[in-house]
C-alpha cells in the first residue's frame, strides 16, 4: 500500500460521476460548485483527517438499528467493502468539489437508488425506506458531527463560529438527498445535542459486524498496521457512550497520546505530499473563474 493510501479514496482521484464514465471525456467544470474555496466544507473535506471523521461516522451510524438493517440488507459491503466505501467517497467528492451540475446529477442518482430501498428491520420490527426523512436526518447529522470532530482533533483548530459555518454550509448536502433546510440543524450545538443524546441506539448483530469491517477490513496482514492508524484515531474521538455500547476497551490517558501522534503523522503527510488531484483541480478552477 502506497503512502498515498492514507488519503480517503475520494481525494486520490477525480471521479467522473458515472459508473463507467471517462473523466477526460466529461464536459469542463462550469463553476466552483455548492461551496467554493473559502468554505469550511472545502477546508474540512480536503484534509486527510476526513478519513478518520468518516470512520467515526460509520461506527456511530451503524448503531441505529433501522439504518444498519437497510445497509445490511441492501449493500454489498461484505462482498466488496472497498468498492462500497469508494462509491460513497466518490459521491462525497463530486458533491463537495465538483461543479453544481455534477453535484445535482450525483444527488439525483442517489435519490433514485434510495427510492428503491425498502425493508423490515428484524430487531425492531419496523419497516423502513431509505428516503425516510428521519433516516436521512440521522445519517446527515452524524456525518456533519463526525467530519468536524475528525478535523478538530487531527486537522486544525475550529472556532465556534467556524463550526456553525460548517453546519450551515452542509445544509446544501442535506438538500441534495431530499431533506429541506428547515428539517436540519443550523448550528453546531443543535447537531451535537442530536448526536450525543443517542436515542434508540443498540449494538445489533449487524452493527457488530459493521464495526469489524470498519476497524479491520479485509486486507493483507502486512498492511493492517497502516490501517490501524486511522482506525484507532477514530475510536479515540468516539463519544464515550458509543465506545461503551460497542464494548471497546479504552483508557482515558490514551486519548491525548493518540491525538498527538496522529496529528503529527498527518502534518508530516501534508508537508511531504501535495493536495490530492480532486482538491488541486477544484482550487485551480476556483482561481481561474475568479480571475
State the CB neighbour count (10 A cutoff) for residue 61.
Answer: 21
Q: CA-CA distance, 54 to 283, in Å (whole number)?
A: 23
Q: What is the pLDDT of residue 241?
A: 96
Q: What is the pLDDT of residue 179?
A: 98
What the block records as the C-alpha cell of 66 is 433501522
Q: What is the pLDDT of residue 20?
A: 38
| 288 Cβ contact partners less than 8 Å away, ≥ 6 residues apart | none
Burial group, residue 21, by CB count within 10 angstroms (0-12, 13-18, 19+): exposed
Q: Cell numbers 466552483 label which residue?
A: 32
Q: CA-CA distance, 46 to 20, in Å (whole number)?
A: 25
45's enclosing H/E stretch is helix 40-45
If the chain, 291 residues long, is cut into consecutive pieces of 10 residues, what is the mean pLDDT of each piece? 42 46 62 95 97 97 96 90 87 95 96 96 94 97 98 98 98 98 98 94 96 93 93 98 96 96 96 90 94 83
Q: What is the pLDDT of residue 215?
A: 95
Amino acid at each position: 500500500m502506497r503512502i498515498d493510501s492514507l488519503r480517503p479514496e475520494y481525494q486520490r482521484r477525480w471521479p467522473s460521476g458515472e459508473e463507467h464514465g471517462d473523466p477526460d471525456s466529461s464536459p469542463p467544470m462550469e463553476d466552483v460548485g455548492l461551496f467554493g474555496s473559502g468554505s469550511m466544507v472545502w477546508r474540512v473535506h480536503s484534509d486527510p483527517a476526513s478519513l478518520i471523521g468518516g470512520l467515526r461516522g460509520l461506527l456511530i451510524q451503524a448503531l441505529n438499528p433501522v439504518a444498519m438493517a437497510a445497509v445490511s440488507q441492501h449493500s454489498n459491503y461484505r462482498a466488496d467493502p472497498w468498492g462500497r466505501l469508494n462509491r460513497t467517497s466518490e459521491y462525497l467528492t463530486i458533491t463537495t468539489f465538483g461543479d453544481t451540475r455534477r453535484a445535482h446529477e450525483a444527488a439525483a442518482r442517489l435519490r433514485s437508488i434510495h427510492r428503491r430501498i425498502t425493508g423490515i428491520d428484524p430487531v425492531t420490527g419496523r419497516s423502513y425506506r431509505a428516503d425516510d426523512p428521519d433516516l436521512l436526518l440521522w445519517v446527515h447529522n452524524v456525518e456533519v458531527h463526525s467530519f468536524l470532530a475528525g478535523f478538530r482533533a487531527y486537522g486544525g483548530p475550529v472556532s465556534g463560529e467556524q463550526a456553525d459555518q460548517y453546519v450551515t454550509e452542509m445544509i446544501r448536502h442535506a438538500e441534495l438527498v431530499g431533506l429541506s433546510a428547515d428539517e436540519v440543524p443550523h448550528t453546531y450545538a443543535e447537531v451535537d445535542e442530536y448526536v450525543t443524546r443517542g436515542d434508540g441506539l443498540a449494538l445489533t448483530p449487524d452493527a457488530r459486524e459493521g464495526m469489524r469491517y470498519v476497524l479491520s477490513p479485509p486486507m493483507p496482514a502486512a498492511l493492517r498496521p497502516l490501517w490501524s492508524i486511522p482506525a484507532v484515531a477514530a475510536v479515540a474521538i468516539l463519544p464515550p457512550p458509543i465506545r461503551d455500547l460497542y464494548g471497546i476497551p479504552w483508557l482515558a490517558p490514551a486519548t491525548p497520546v493518540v491525538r498527538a501522534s496522529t496529528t503529527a503523522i498527518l502534518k508530516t503527510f501534508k508537508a511531504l505530499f501535495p493536495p490530492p488531484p480532486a482538491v488541486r483541480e477544484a482550487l485551480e478552477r476556483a482561481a481561474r473563474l475568479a480571475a
